[in-house]
Amino acid sequence: MVSGSGTNLQAMIDAVNSGIIKSGEICAVISSKEDAYALERAKQNGIACYCVPKKKYSDQMVFEDKLNDILKKEDAELIVLAGFMCVLSAGFVKQYKDRIINVHPSLIPSFCGDGFYGLRVHKAALDYGVKVSGATVHYVNEIIDGGKIILQKAVNVRKGDTPEILQKRIMEQAEWKILPKACEMICVRIIRERKLKK
């Protein structure tokens, strides 16, 4: 699920193509914005893509019913929030316990929670004067950025960093590395659980 340019989606596509993700595939991309470049990335790679514009749904349940319809149609078993700028309800999250993950551009529990997204995270980190930041992949629960941590990777903050420079470094050195790795780990777990049920 995406809302923007899809750089994390591209990292996932590259990871599937290079064999880093070998136990799963990207079955669909769902965008909350019609003009998200992530949809173009999906089309270029032959991935089913859908747009469910959040602004068209005043009711959260109707919006989430539309998401659910797509997830069921595509037999999705893992939901990856890759720059998805919509908060999902507790009810939605409970339906997919330990099956929704998110990548956050800081070392949780620092600079996370309500209002911390995009460049705001990096500005807060720089304003605070941290020497190390990074990224976290975590399970999604009913608390924003509150789910169990799966993977983290630290990135050094350098003198003269701006929020934009730090964002780019954290994407390249952390987010794009640990998000595909976490996906592969969870896909392996899902396959193992399925075999145990047989």
pLDDT by residue (tens digit) across 134-149?
A: 999 999 999 999 999 9
Whole-prediction pTM: 0.94
Hey, what are 18's tokens?
A: 């290079």
The number of folded domains in the chain is 1
Active site residues: 104
In a domain, 62, yes or no: yes
Cis bond upstream, residue 180 (ω within 30): no
Provide the pLDDT for residue 28.
Answer: 98
* Rounded CA separation 15/122 (Å): 26
In a domain, 93, yes or no: yes
Query: What b-and-e string marks burial along 59-70, b requiring 16 or more CB atoms within 10 Å of the CB?
Result: eeeebbebbeeb
In a domain, 60, yes or no: yes
pLDDT classification of 58: cutoffs 50, 70, 90: confident
Provide the pLDDT for residue 180.
Answer: 98
In a domain, 1, yes or no: no
- Is the pLDDT confidence value at 109 over 80? yes
Output the DSSP codes for 86-103. SPPPHHHHHHTTT-EEEE
In a domain, 2, yes or no: no
Which CATH number does the domain housing residue 186 bear? 3.40.50.170
Domain of 59 in residue numbering reads as 7-197
Provide the pLDDT for residue 153.
Answer: 98
For residue range 23-38, list pLDDT tens digits in order: 999 999 999 999 999 9
**What is the mean predicted confidence (pLDDT) over 11-23?**
97
